[in-house]
Structure 1
Amino acid sequence: MIVAGDGIQVDGAGSPSNPIVITAKPAPLVVADSSCITLSGLGTTAAPLSAAPRLDPAPGNLLACGPDGLVVAGGTGGTVATGCGLTGDGSTGSPVSVAVRDWPHSCTVDAAAGGVYCDGAGVLRSEPRTRVTRASTAGDQAYSATPVPAGRDVVIATKSLVMTNSDTCRQAIAQVVVSIDVDFTLPANSSAVAGIGNDDMQAFVNRGSSTATAVHTQVTKTFQRNIPAGGTLTEPLAITMGRGTGGATYTRIQWSIQALIISV
């Protein structure tokens, strides 16, 4: 007796006129779907194996199965619909791209253009905006007739201005202007000097025969300071005097400190 096992088919009685024929019997094809592909058929000529994509029916899904294959749907003719800031329909001849203007400057984009960034909400953002702020302080103080020191660069008063960089991203440049104006009383054959720090800014000499009162002029210095991102900087102003002779006195001091703070 001959018994056929799995995958084997036995025919015939074993006689010369009806010999035993052993042939392979195709086993059933086992198929399994995935989350994206549905399989069907037995893999035979009569029932060939086929696969079809499984498309998520959730609203907003732009993927569709067209006559020529998978396409992105949603626009005219199954292409992408674009809005503000984008152009193109997603086709080979018109790919989706950022809508830009022609560069109007003599320098190149590569050398001078800023960046564009995506924030936490998925919104496009440009470079930080330019910030310009101003800080200032000033004073006007009268004195009883006070002798001008005979030495050099003697500090009479110290003033200051606190400058804050409101830009937390970039260093700021502060254009600082300081001014002083000292009123002197100069008897005959007297002299007096006033300055900013160790820099003499006013120098008066009375060569006449009578007293000169309210002798003064306004003087100014300007310079640059750098303030770190989000930081503060205190700018001092030391008002100095010296070379007082012949009974010279001062009676008034006017001063100011101004700053234009720029971050670009």
Structure 2
Amino acid sequence: MTAGDNVTISGSGNSTNPYVVSATLGCDDVRPCLSGGSGIGYDPATGVITAKVSGQTGNNLTVRPDGSLFVPTGAATVSTGCGLTGNGAASTPLRANTGTWPYPCDATTRGGVVVCDSNGVLRSEPRGMATFNNYFENRTYNNVPVPTGAVDAVDNYNVTITNPDPCRPALVVVEQEVDIWLVVPAGGAAATGFAGDEMQYLRNTGSSTMSSVHTQHTKVLSPGTIPAAGTMSVGYGAGAGRGGGGAYYYAIYFTLRTLLISL
């Protein structure tokens, strides 16, 4: 028996010393059978097989000194923009890039909220609103005698106001003005103001009639709040009283101004 390339034969072929055929295959004989594939690097000159790591920007896969592959948590998928910091790794978590709370109150109990809308956009609380309106009405009468009792309503003026804020209640601030036009003969008297609130008393101690006597009375008050998108009736009564000596009124000018504030 004759051994060929890379083959050795030993033994004499009898039962006590049988032939042993051994074959050896060198690296140069194996390397032509190997090749790199997807994600694998192969050097046929050295026979070294490695992981093929892309060098494209944004790829965070690395080969550690011990030869193992490593991707930091979140680093391969997070790209921060305005308002965000960090890369999602355990050592650098993704965070909102917030400012410093500059107020003496506690942000936990007094701070506003930020929500995500139906389009995936962050939104803050609704913006504040302030709405101001004027209402006027001039009424004339057929020389109505001023009542002799205490000042009370002789006519009323009301309007319905609407809160334009669909989100929050509005505080209502109202300014009321009333101007009652009087004729007070000599020896006559009259008082005017708001219903139940005398604000002026006039007595004619002269010898001639006082015509077109009037004073514009004013009050500012808050009747409360209006629910979001709700309505409220606001108004007041024009007051007259303590009349005598033929005093009468013939016109009342009503003015109502409203300020609605929602914050």
TM-score, normalisation: structure 1: 0.68
Residue in structure 2 matched with residue 182 of structure 1 by the alignment: 180
Residue in structure 1 matched with residue 196 of structure 2 by the alignment: 198
Which region of structure 1 is more displaced relative to structure 2, 85-94 or 145-154?
145-154
User: In percent, how many aligned pairs have the same letter?
Assistant: 37
In structure 2, do the counterparts of structure 1 residues 176 and 91 end up closer, same or farther at CA, with 3 Å as the change threshold? Answer: same
Residue in structure 2 matched with residue 235 of structure 1 by the alignment: 234
Give, as a single letter, the amino acid of the residue that structure 2 aligns with 1:165.
N
Give, as a single letter, the amino acid of the residue that structure 2 aligns with 1:244.
G
- State the 1:63 CA deviation: 10
Cα displacement string for residues 40-74 of structure 1 (whole angstroms, at most 9, x for unaligned residues)? xxxxxxxxxxxxxxxxxxxxxx999765345567x
Q: What is the distance in 1 between the residues matched to 2:124 and 2:99?
A: 15
Residue in structure 2 matched with residue 257 of structure 1 by the alignment: 256
In structure 2, do the counterparts of structure 1 residues 160 and 63 end up closer, same or farther at CA, with 3 Å as the change threshold? Answer: farther
Q: What is the distance in 2 between the residues matched to 1:162 and 1:201?
A: 26
Task: Pick the aligned partner of 1:167 from 165, 168, 179.
Answer: 165
Q: Secondary structure at the match of 1:93?
A: coil
Give, as a single letter, the amino acid of the residue that structure 2 aligns with 1:83.
G
Q: What is the distance in 2 between the residues matched to 1:153 and 1:219?
A: 13
CA contact (8 A) 2:73 2:90 kept: no
Q: What is the distance in 2 between the residues matched to 1:215 and 1:169?
A: 47
TM-score, normalisation: structure 2: 0.68
Larger Rg: 2
Q: What is the distance in 2 between the residues matched to 1:66 and 1:166?
A: 59
Cα displacement string for residues 21-40 of structure 1 (whole angstroms, at most 9, x for unaligned residues)? xxxxxxxxxxxxxxxxxxxx
- State the 1:153 CA deviation: 4.1
CA contact (8 A) 2:116 2:122 kept: yes
Residue in structure 2 matched with residue 246 of structure 1 by the alignment: 245
- State the 1:121 CA deviation: 1.9
Q: What is the distance in 1 between the residues matched to 2:100 and 2:150?
A: 62
Q: Secondary structure at the match of 1:240?
A: strand
Which region of structure 1 is more displaced relative to structure 2, 107-116 or 216-225?
107-116
Q: What is the distance in 2 between the residues matched to 1:154 and 1:89?
A: 74
Q: What is the distance in 1 between the residues matched to 2:71 and 2:91?
A: 18
In structure 1, runs of 5+ residues without a counterpart are: 1-61
In structure 2, runs of 5+ residues without a counterpart are: 1-57, 64-68
Residue in structure 2 matched with residue 118 of structure 1 by the alignment: 116
Residues 30-69 of structure 1 mapped to structure 2, 5 A cutoff: 67=63, 68-69=69-70
Q: What is the distance in 1 between the residues matched to 2:182 and 2:230?
A: 39
Q: What is the distance in 1 between the residues matched to 2:73 and 2:62?
A: 9
2:104 equivalent to 1:106: yes
Task: Pick the aligned partner of 1:214 from 188, 212, 227.
Answer: 212
- Output the aligned Cα RMSD: 2.4
Q: What is the distance in 2 between the residues matched to 1:131 and 1:217?
A: 34
